[in-house]
Structure 1
């Protein structure tokens, strides 16, 4: 199987994820959350026929169709959405935050549907199954697009017990504990624990179960990141003696579930800068990290047989 997470809308990274099935010769693809992008960029059509768009604080002047295509491709790699509009539409949207959110969700939904269609086409007839769950950054309304009665190769995994092969089951949960950014799918740690426990109660054999929980276990080295001051906007890194303070940002409930249940494997994401593989008791826990904005696919190949992990390899490319 191949696991990757936190693609955040990146077109190039998603295509690499789907192509990983053929490249790595795997029969199972698992995407671990934060599927959607984080930003939509207006591309403003000027009366002259040229375009302008602001990216990373810099105004880009676009004068040819080739430049427009190249800029849109650049946004796709970054995981950003875009809409070409005239000045009047831009001004109307700027004055209406609710309309901006509706547009963002519409663009998110369009890209997710295009990804599903691409994956179904690429995986058809290969025998490879793809399981996707959302993350804390993903809008529930958009994630509904994954629940399709005619699914052949691409399946919504969240809040379900799925049999991914004859020997192993998969349970997935994409919510996280609170973050400084107040993302769409956050709950208190105790509530997350209750959600996880309801899933575990449906598992027949935990020793042959794969956990796919977006948030990593606390203090596991899979959750190490800079500590932030939530009182500033945007949140600022806390420093001491000139050094950034690092801490374990993961979930106590996720760690407790792993310690109590001891599944075969536990897959995580959420903390992009903390890739690695560790054991909690007998359970192998993995966070491949994420470099989606560079178009780099980080992931992990795993070979499983009859309730054991024969091998695993973190990948980047």
Structure 2
């Protein structure tokens, strides 16, 4: 990787570490750009994306000829199309430009649709890699990049080929004396997403990862799912049709985090846990002595949610949310 090193942050302060963390960007290019800009403004040593980079929707754009395009029942010219594409990228929506025949294939052939979705996901992530390379070109900074439960595994192939995005799941990464373990799978959800595990499997996997840590009290747990029963894992209670339960005019909330992650954190008591997954549950809390943080997400309206964290003398000196 040339001058970029996986185990050495861009910092001259031994024992001090400035972390800029975000998660659940779900394809939003504007949120990704804001993340890079804010990380540079805060002069952070380490940049981390905690998972769920992939977007959730693919919109076909039909080329109807003569410089006209049909987008969701709206006819636009090339200038109008450029504005729509800009908005799609900002809010995490993928798009594909097809003719009428291609549109029919997407509707009628599930395999064709899946391949087009894959192409769009890979293409957007490759664009982000180029954006990061340009934005960070005058620094030694890299971005420790994890996949979340919504991310297909082939995204790791793009990350491995990037100069600035670095795969960290499954490794113990040394960050200026602080160790970090990373894990992107979550406990089962109602949506059966690509990367889910039973709680007992999560616990066994994390137990193995923890066995490779030298100093648990100096460890960063970069785990996509939040620990169960904290301020970080509040989400709407769903009924059998997956609609939020409403009582007395208010949505009923419930805890949906991982009991296995809660258990391993109580046993190990790492220095800090950085999490995501539950977009509406931006918060910090404590699990025993461990500070845990979920910056939340509003990727769909192009707003960055992140956390700026300063570790110093084996303690969490500062943590604050960054929103913009």
| 1:30–1:130 Cα contact (<8 Å) kept | yes
Counterpart of 2:260 (choices 249, 253, 268) is 253
Task: Please name the residue that 1:175 is paired with.
Answer: 185
Deviations 1:67-104 (A, max 9, x none): 11000011111101111111111001211011101110
Task: Please name the residue that 1:263 is paired with.
Answer: 270
Counterpart of 1:98 (choices 86, 104, 111) is 111
User: In 2, Cα distance between the equivalents of 1:116 and 1:200?
Assistant: 30
| 1:136–1:186 Cα contact (<8 Å) kept | yes
Task: Please name the residue that 1:304 is paired with.
Answer: 311
* 3-state DSSP of counterpart to 1:140: coil
Query: Is residue 2:96 matched to residue 1:83?
Result: yes
User: In 2, Cα distance between the equivalents of 1:221 and 1:128?
Assistant: 31
Task: Please name the residue that 1:25 is paired with.
Answer: 43
* 3-state DSSP of counterpart to 1:107: helix
* 3-state DSSP of counterpart to 1:185: coil
Give the CA deviation at 1:309.
1.2
Task: Please name the residue that 1:133 is paired with.
Answer: 146
Task: Please name the residue that 1:162 is paired with.
Answer: 173
* 3-state DSSP of counterpart to 1:71: helix
Give the CA deviation at 1:172.
0.6
Give the CA deviation at 1:139.
0.4
Query: Is residue 2:232 matched to residue 1:222?
Result: yes
Give the CA deviation at 1:48.
4.8
Counterpart of 1:281 (choices 269, 282, 288) is 288
Give the CA deviation at 1:9.
0.4
Task: Please name the residue that 2:74 is paired with.
Answer: 60
Deviations 1:166-210 (A, max 9, x none): x21111101111112111111111111122112111111111110
User: In 2, Cα distance between the equivalents of 1:250 and 1:292?
Assistant: 21
Give the CA deviation at 1:218.
0.6
User: In 2, Cα distance between the equivalents of 1:74 and 1:154?
Assistant: 24
Counterpart of 1:238 (choices 236, 245, 253) is 245
Give the CA deviation at 1:49.
3.6
User: In 2, Cα distance between the equivalents of 1:49 and 1:266?
Assistant: 51
User: In 2, Cα distance between the equivalents of 1:239 and 1:154?
Assistant: 42
| 2:144–2:165 Cα contact (<8 Å) kept | yes
Query: Is residue 2:53 matched to residue 1:35?
Result: yes
| 1:27–1:127 Cα contact (<8 Å) kept | no
| 1:275–1:287 Cα contact (<8 Å) kept | yes
Q: Which runs of 4+ in 1 moved over 3 A?
A: none
- Number of aligned residues: 306
Deviation larger for 192-201 or 291-300: 192-201
Give the CA deviation at 1:152.
4.5
Task: Please name the residue that 1:206 is paired with.
Answer: 216
Q: Structure 2: where are the runs of 5+ without partners?
A: 1-18
Say what the alpha-carbon RMSD is for the aligned residues: 1.3
* 3-state DSSP of counterpart to 2:24: coil
When the two structures are superposed, what TM-score results if normalisation uses the length of structure 2? 0.91
When the two structures are superposed, what TM-score results if normalisation uses the length of structure 1? 0.93
